[in-house]
Amino acid sequence: MKILLADAIFTDGTIYRNHGIVFDKTIIEVSSNDELRSRYGAQCVELGEGSVILPGLVNAHVHLEFSANRTTLTYGEFMPWLSSVIASRDELINECDDECTTRAVEMMLSNGITAFGAVSSYGFDLDPCFKASQKVVYFNELIGSDPAMADALYANFQERLFASQELKRSGFYPSIAIHSPYSVHRILIQKALKHAKEKDLRVTAHFMESPAEREWLDTDSGPFRPFFENFLKQTRAANTAEEFLSYFKEIPTLFTHAVQASHDELSVIAQNGHSIIHCPISNRLLGNGVLDLKPLEDKNIPLLCGTDGLSSNYTLDLFEEMKIALFMHPHDDLLSLSQKLWRGVTSLAAAALKLNCGKIMSGYDADILVMRVNYPINGQLPLHLINQKGIIESIYIEGERVK
């Protein structure tokens, strides 16, 4: 059992000054420092001035297999980026061996990310994810819109899923990703989701990332048309957005991006208990626009915040992602948005991924950051922690110190 007394605990929107935490694998108690001192005496570790205890951060959406990218991919607009991905895919994938993937996993840990949802296209990141210190929701991704290839693609997907299911450790959750409405055949989606429902697997999908996707799904036209004609001899989108969302009925899903989603689509997302993962840096670098946060708030859709992968980001750091979000939404109230973003990388992200973490509260897993700030703590701490990050002094996952 460990007892840490801090200058502040910040969890789920509230700052508790002069509070401490008692934990082993899970959190046993959160109380005032005075109370804990009187009960536990010398067992207490005094963290002192400027210490802040936070829940470990939860990165709901990351692609690790493209972690070799630094300047290979073309930024600015979605279609040139996608073309550059296709042109350099083999090279980038080959360059990202286990060591490269592990560096990305460790980059996340050093930035306080104690749980992540990894979207795996090939399964090449399976071993580093299994060996990671973090909680990992390992999303095996299903992709393929060509009916002629359906069986082979599903078999490959199943093989990867089964391989991940054979690996057992606490905090490792084999799961399912459906790539996107434009890239997966309905038969495949329905088959995979039936399996997810039967086995109670977690599910994620990309949805309405780019203007090009909107145009292609709505009208079978736009810059995606030559792309599909050239690569796959397709002249019609694999699904409409409406059809696509309908498959996920009764399966609460983490939809990534949704920048171009319509109000009707957001209503469907709300009604079905889905959540949305906001990746502001990726959205900007790929020219996809800015997610409008207002309708999400109006419809009570949980807003998570993710880093996406190094194919569309310069780092894997939710502090940086939150900071960028503050500036990409310059008309939203600064403090309220800070609080929203904090929930989106802690309690709400953990809930959407069905993880027992993301809150400093008795009964939750002891996934904990101890940070040190060199400035006076006040009511604007949620904002200051984003802009003036401070030092992550130690990290605990399920009570074990991992940093």
Q: Which of the stretches 38-46, 72-80, 114-122, 354-362 binds a second copy when contact is defined by CB under 8 A?
A: 72-80
Nearest partner of 287 among 87, 86, 79, 85, judged by Cα: 79
* Minimum distance of a second copy from residue 240's CB (angstroms): 27
Contact pick of 13, 48, 147, 376 for a second copy (by CB under 8 A): 376
Whether 209 is catalytic is yes
Return d(Cα 320, Cα 325) in angstroms, integer.
9
DSSP calls for 149-203: GHHHHHHHHHHHHHHHHT---TTEEEEEEE--TTTB-HHHHHHHHHHHHHHT--E
- List of residues 6+ apart from 401 with CB closer than 8 A: 394, 395
Residue 306 near residue 60, CB atoms below 8 Å = yes
* Minimum distance of a second copy from residue 387's CB (angstroms): 4
Return d(Cα 99, Cα 116) in angstroms, integer.
18
284 binds a second copy (CB under 8 A): yes
Q: Which CB sits closer to a second copy, 189 or 325?
A: 325
Contact pick of 34, 94, 388, 401 for a second copy (by CB under 8 A): 388
99 binds a second copy (CB under 8 A): no
* Minimum distance of a second copy from residue 287's CB (angstroms): 7
Q: Which CB sits closer to a second copy, 64 or 326?
A: 326
Residue from 65, 141, 209, 398 carrying the catalytic annotation: 209
387 binds a second copy (CB under 8 A): yes
* Minimum distance of a second copy from residue 96's CB (angstroms): 15
324 binds a second copy (CB under 8 A): yes
377 binds a second copy (CB under 8 A): yes
What's the length of the chain? 403
Return d(Cα 224, Cα 239) in angstroms, integer.
14
Return d(Cα 211, Cα 323) in angstroms, integer.
25
Q: Which two tokens stand for residue 41?
A: 């005496």
Residue 227 near residue 221, CB atoms below 8 Å = no
* Minimum distance of a second copy from residue 327's CB (angstroms): 5
Residue 382 near residue 335, CB atoms below 8 Å = yes
* Minimum distance of a second copy from residue 230's CB (angstroms): 24
74 binds a second copy (CB under 8 A): yes
Q: Which CB sits closer to a second copy, 11 or 283?
A: 283
Contact pick of 2, 195, 384, 403 for a second copy (by CB under 8 A): 384
Residue 93 near residue 130, CB atoms below 8 Å = no
Q: Which CB sits closer to a second copy, 171 or 211?
A: 211
Q: Which CB sits closer to a second copy, 83 or 272?
A: 83
Return d(Cα 329, Cα 283) in angstroms, integer.
13
Site for a second copy in 244-283 (CB under 8 A): 280-281, 283
Contact pick of 168, 198, 331, 363 for a second copy (by CB under 8 A): 331
Q: Which two tokens stand for residue 389?
A: 């990050």
Nearest partner of 196 among 188, 208, 184, 206, judged by Cα: 188
Q: Which CB sits closer to a second copy, 190 or 388?
A: 388
Site for a second copy in 42-71 (CB under 8 A): 70-71
Q: Which CB sits closer to a second copy, 271 or 380?
A: 380
13 binds a second copy (CB under 8 A): no
How many distinct helices (H) and strands (E) make up the chain? 16, 16
**DSSP H helical ranges for 175-317:** 186-199, 211-219, 224-232, 241-247, 263-271, 280-285, 293-298
Amino acid at 238: A
Contact pick of 93, 167, 328, 402 for a second copy (by CB under 8 A): 328
Contact pick of 333, 354, 391, 401 for a second copy (by CB under 8 A): 333
Task: List residues binding a second copy (CB under 8 A).
Answer: 70-72, 74-76, 280-281, 283-285, 287, 289-290, 314, 324, 326-328, 330-331, 333-335, 374-378, 380-381, 383-384, 387-388
Positions annotated as catalytic residues are 209
